[in-house]
Amino acid sequence: MSHPELSAEEYYDEGLPARRRRVAVGGVWLALIVCILDTSIASVALPTIALDLGAKPADAIGIVSAFQLGVVISLLPLAALGDIITYRRIFLIGLTLFTIASIGCVVSHTLGALVLSRALQGIGAAGVMSVNGALARYIYPRHQLGAALGANALIIAAFGALGPTIATAILAGGPWQYLFAINLPIGATALALAFRALPESPKAHHKLDATSAMLNVIAFAALLMGADLLGQEPAVNRGYVLLTIGLMAGFALIRRCTGQAQPLVPIDLLRSKVTRLSALTSMLTFVAQTLTQIALPFYAQSVLHLSLVQTGLLMTAWPVGVAVAAPIAGRLADRVPDEVLVCAGLTVMTLGLASFLWVTPGHDSLWIALRMAICGVGFGCFQSPNNRTLLSSAPMHRSGAAAGLVAIARTTGQIIGAVLVAVSFRIYGEVGTAAISISATLTAIAAASSFIRHRHRHR
């Protein structure tokens, strides 16, 4: 079905017609749902998969790691390609690859084949995630962008939290292959809707810098694998080596991108002080989130003496808080200055994190969960408005780069958070109080960064 295409400026002001917008949003949401589910859904089935494929449980972790690696190394190159060949095409190619790779997962009879299919799934998912924010600028009118990002954050939080529950329900009714087979009808439906309704965007006239793309792959692959190895006693030295390689490749990548008109790493966008502070706020907050999400289960079980079930319910309170706050914050972001919402949200998150330092064994589990929900509400108030600033501050023709900046701030923060967890283990022998203190401090710094951004914008 053909549609008359608008100019970039007309899209920014008007978005798609209402009926076509609903179809496009349906395709985007379904694609996000399967990609988010596959981030965590396989973890529940690792023991079953390992037994069925005759693999060692430790080796089966590669089923999860391969997906994460595929996503991380692909986000920036695919965001840059979106600028060049249009965001619509990258989205459709990524979703197609994800769906085909899901077939590969279903028919895999060896661990190696399954790991390879999962890596391809991750690359396909990166195609969806890398241009999702850029597409939002063309799908929705400018005055609804915050609400759109809030709705996306709600989907990500809700299905991220529901992943283990959905996986358990699927496994109760059939073999582990069903976990990946469910992607096929959903992926096909999302493809049909997206193909019919997603808008085109103008094509950039430059080419993808292959050297920058390769340095990106080396940097993020080495950093991710190095952070993972720091937590494994026999492989700590290899972890440090990989982290060093990753940092060197990252430095070379940034140096190469400096001075380029439209670089892979969007340094050109970071010339704006508002964008720099927004990216810093995002990175620090995701460091704190990752630290908290990894540390609190250890803290809850070893210090607070909660059961595994109680700990699971405790952790669920965070995404529930995000799911409640994100759509509200998204709508408010279209009326209230973004930095005010971000600063308020991060202040709430800081107070929620700090309150854990006063929790003692025997504390009522409900009050502990309430603290976690408060953290989630604060995080939900930060995410949509901050992403709105990062996306809307870029020119329309650099929307892909802005979406890449959102992704890179998140990914870098998550990797740093994982490294800090490993360091806390090695220095303190535990990750409870120390990690929570660091998380609260970093969140407070992120709130201050947003406050500075507000003062800078209103001078």
Which residue shows structure tokens 């972790």? Answer: 61
Six token digits for residue 303:
């210090």
DSSP three-state, residue 175: coil
C-alpha–C-alpha distance, residues 244 and 398, integer Å:
31
Q: Which of 314, 316, 317 is nearest to 306 (CA)?
A: 314
Are 264 and 77 spatial neighbours (Cβ–Cβ below 8 Å)? yes
Domain residue ranges of the chain, discontinuous segments joined by +: 1-198, 210-259, 265-459
Contacts of 51-59 spanning 24+ positions with Cβ under 8 A = 52/175, 52/176, 53/108, 53/109, 53/110, 53/111, 53/114, 55/111, 59/111
Distance between CA atoms of residues 378 and 352, nearest Å: 8
Q: Which residue's structure tokens are 């940034």?
A: 254
Dist. CA 436–CA 428, nearest whole Å: 13
Q: What's the CATH number of domain 265-459, 3.40.109.10, 1.20.1250.20, 1.10.10.10, 3.90.1150.10?
A: 1.20.1250.20
CA distance 217 to 7: 34
Confirm if 303 and 435 have CB atoms less than 8 A apart.
no
- Closest by Cα among 203, 50, 63 to 120: 63
Structure confidence at residue 455 (pLDDT)? 62
What pLDDT tens digit does each residue of the chain (459 aa) get?
A: 444 454 444 544 577 888 999 999 999 999 999 998 887 788 778 888 888 888 887 788 888 889 989 998 999 999 999 989 999 999 999 999 999 999 999 999 999 999 999 999 999 999 999 898 889 888 988 888 888 888 888 887 778 777 777 887 888 888 999 999 999 999 999 999 999 999 988 887 888 899 999 999 999 999 988 887 876 767 778 888 999 999 999 999 999 998 788 888 888 888 888 888 889 999 999 999 888 877 777 777 777 777 766 777 777 888 888 888 888 888 888 888 888 899 999 999 999 999 888 877 777 777 888 888 999 999 989 888 888 888 888 888 788 888 888 888 888 888 888 778 777 776 666 666 778 888 999 999 999 988 887 565 555
**Does 265-459 match 1-198 at the fold level?**
yes
Q: What is the CATH number of domain 1-198?
A: 1.20.1250.20
The pLDDT value given to residue 431: 61
Closest CA to 375 of 321, 412, 435, 298: 321
Q: In one letter, which amino acid is 148?
A: A
Burial (CB < 10 A; 0-12, 13-18, 19+), residue 259, is exposed
Cα distances (angstroms) measured from residue 326 to each of 149, 338, 434: 8, 13, 28
Do residues 317 and 369 touch, judged by C-beta distance below 8 A?
yes
363, burial (CB in 10 Å: exposed 0-12, middle 13-18, buried 19+): middle
**Residue closest to 67 by CA, chosen among 132, 114, 133:** 114
DSSP, residue by residue, 434-455: HHHHHHHHHHHHHHHHHHHHHH
Angle value at C-alpha 136, between 134 and 139, nearest 5 degrees: 125
What pLDDT shows up at residue 86? 92
DSSP structure class, residue 204: P
Do 342 and 330 form a contact (C-beta atoms < 8 A)? no
pLDDT of residue 273: 86
Alpha-carbon gap, residue 431 to 40, rounded angstroms? 22
Nearest to 421 by CA among 439, 445, 446: 439
Tokens of 287: 């460091």
Tokens of 320: 């529930």
Residue whose token pair is 């999400």: 293
Look at residue 350 in the predicted model and tell me its pLDDT. Answer: 95
The tokens of 138 are what? 């063309």
